[in-house]
């Protein structure tokens, strides 16, 4: 596992997503210099954002397996055993099986990804993740040509997850992506935060991060990845299909039935956190809009 991290983050460090599109070429060129992760490119001034603090990111969470309050995961997630950890990869793959987390990490290059995070509840953060592209893990398992979707499942451990006592949703938590979304260079599996191992309340030891979608799509503590030729069920869509679509792309023009999505509250600043306009695809429109060319993004929300 290769890893590089600069702990002195500033507003100029926010990742310009376009830098990832030539990732492998950059890595190849950097190899001779002994660099183990991609170069990061500073944003233009209007895109510069400051990452939220460790305290904010780790103490304001939605992880209902540990409680529905924002501070419940930080209080309760310590009970989750994250080592050893296995991820079952099955379905339409050439090499199905149970993959040990340490074996996965030994094959992956860990990179820095500083992303915006937009919750469907209309609040947002900027998070400095470390992790690897989901596409690399899928390549290791070998995606078969007939695969069209990727399904994910969170750990289900009633003895370690007190929130499972309550039927908030149909446990275990499940999510899904279209295959082209899963293979997109911006889609990662995060293993760390601020250069440290991913805290339990943030989805340790392995969580999905899809920065142009609402945060609930970025499923935590992943234990199963299944390649399929049919659209998989997703937890919030099953519970309230009129409120939570399969795609769940950040879209300021499509309101939640109970609140507007046109603006968001930036976490940080207490009760006086300022509101800012929500960006289409959470600011990643240039990189991902082509995935949805010709689709009705209101009907397919």
Query: Domain holding 96: CATH number?
Result: 3.90.420.10
Q: Where are the beta strands (DSSP E) in the chain?
A: 86-91, 97-100, 111-118, 123-133, 149-154, 174-178, 188-193, 196-197, 207-209, 222-228, 263-266, 275-277
Q: Is the per-residue pLDDT at 59 higher than 70? A: yes
Quick one: pLDDT at residue 24? 43
- The string of pLDDT tens digits covering residues 263-295 is 999 998 665 677 999 999 999 999 999 999 999
The pLDDT tens digits for 114-168 are 999 999 999 999 999 999 999 999 999 999 999 999 999 999 999 999 999 999 9
CA distances from 184 to 28, 61, 255 (A): 19, 25, 26
Tokens for 246, please give them.
């399969």
Lowest-pLDDT range, 15-19, 33-37, 77-81, 229-233? Answer: 33-37
User: Domain of 162?
Assistant: 55-292
For 93-102, what is each residue's pLDDT tens digit?
A: 999 999 999 9
> What pLDDT was estimated at residue 159?
98
5 within some domain: no
102 phi-psi bin (left φ>0, alpha ψ -120 to 50, beta other): alpha
Q: Tell me the sheet residues that pair with 2.
A: 109
For 74, phi and psi rounded to 5 degrees?
A: -65, -35
* Rounded Cα distance, 278 and 216, in Å: 17
Asked if the structure places residue 264 within a domain, the reply is yes
Percent share of the chain, pLDDT over 90: 81
Q: What's the rounded mean pLDDT across residues 208-233?
A: 98
Output the DSSP codes for 61-89. ---GGG-SSTTHHHHHGGG---SS-EEEE
Residue 59 lies in a domain: yes
**10 found inside a domain:** no
pLDDT at 15: 53
- Residue 166 exposure: Cα atoms within 13 Å on the Cβ side: 8
In a domain, 32, yes or no: no
Judge whether 43 lies within some domain: no
CB contact at 8 A, 173 and 154: yes
Residue 41, in any domain of the structure:
no
Contact between 87 and 206 under an 8 Å Cβ cutoff? The reply is yes
Give the list of residues 6+ apart from residue 69 with CB closer than 8 angstroms, or none. none
Number of structural domains found in the chain: 1
23 within some domain: no
Residue 221 and residue 299: Cα distance in Å, rounded? 30
């Amino acid at each position: 596992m290769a890893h590089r991290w600069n702990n002195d983050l500033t507003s100029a460090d926010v990742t310009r997503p376009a830098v990832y599109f030539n990732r492998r070429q950059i890595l190849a060129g950097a190899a001779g210099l002994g660099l183990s992760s991609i170069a990061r490119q500073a944003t233009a001034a209007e895109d510069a954002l400051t990452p939220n603090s460790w305290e904010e990111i780790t103490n304001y969470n939605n992880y209902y397996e540990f409680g529905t309050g924002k501070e419940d995961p930080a209080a309760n997630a310590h009970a989750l055993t994250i080592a050893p950890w296995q991820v079952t990869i099955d379905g339409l793959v050439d090499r199905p099986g149970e993959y040990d987390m340490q074996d996965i990490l030994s094959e992956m290059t860990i990179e820095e990804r500083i992303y915006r995070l937009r919750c469907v509840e209309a609040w947002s953060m900027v998070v400095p993740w470390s992790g690897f592209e989901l596409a690399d893990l899928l390549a290791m398992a070998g995606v078969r040509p007939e695969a069209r979707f990727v399904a994910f499942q969170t750990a289900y451990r009633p003895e370690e997850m007190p929130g499972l006592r309550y039927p908030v949703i149909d446990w275990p938590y499940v999510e899904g992506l279209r295959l082209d979304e899963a293979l997109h260079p911006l889609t990662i599996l995060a293993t760390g935060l601020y250069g440290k191992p991913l805290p339990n309340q943030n989805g340790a030891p392995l969580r999905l991060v899809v920065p142009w979608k609402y945060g609930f799509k970025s499923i935590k503590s992943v234990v199963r990845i299944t390649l399929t030729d049919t659209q998989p069920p997703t937890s919030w869509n099953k519970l309230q299909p009129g409120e939570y679509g399969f795609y769940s792309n950040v879209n300021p023009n499509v309101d939640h039935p109970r609140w507007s999505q046109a603006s968001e509250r930036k976490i940080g600043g207490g009760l006086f956190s300022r509101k800012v306009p929500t960006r289409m695809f959470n600011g990643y429109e240039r990189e991902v809009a082509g995935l949805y060319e010709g689709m009705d993004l209101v009907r397919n929300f």
